[in-house]
Amino acid sequence: MYELAVCELMHPSIHGNCTGQSGHYLLSWFISPDEFLSNEHQTTLDSMKNYYWNRTESPPHPSVRNYWNMMAKKRFYTLHVVDEAELCTGVKTAILKTFWLRIFQRKWRNIYKDKQLARRKMKDLSYRRVHGKWPV
């Protein structure tokens, strides 16, 4: 079952140096429906943002070159729809599923745009029939 959670990309200097986990998303915090509806999760997101924005040292990530640039973006700290997975070391990681919503939105946006274009073409045809020229 999918859940709402706050995730962050694992960094060995912050989360501990475990082999084979540098590219995974760490489950930082699960969010219940009650917390979501009452906006209690916003304070935790703000504290996570402040942690990354106020760091003085920035050790490099072993596999992601722009790790600190990613962490500096506000859109990185959002709720994600995740599927929980556990590694052999017992660390709970996340498989992000939020991108499916973005794909679905993009498809429907394109379908809506095509319908609007078809409707406009019908209006243009009726305008040409009445006035004898195409609309500008």
pLDDT for 87 equals 73
CB atoms within 10 A of CB 50: 10
Residue 120 identity (one-letter amino acid):
R
pLDDT at residue 28 is higher than 70? yes
Residue range 31-50: mean pLDDT, rounded: 78
pLDDT for 59 equals 72
pLDDT at residue 101 is higher than 80? yes
pLDDT at residue 21 is higher than 60? no
Q: Which of 45, 16, 14 is nearest to 31 (CA)?
A: 45
Distance CA 84, CA 1 (A): 8
Distance of CA 133 to the CA centre of its chain: 47
Least confident of 41-45, 64-68, 74-78: 74-78
pLDDT at residue 119 is higher than 70? yes
The predicted model scores a pTM of: 0.58
pLDDT for 74 equals 66
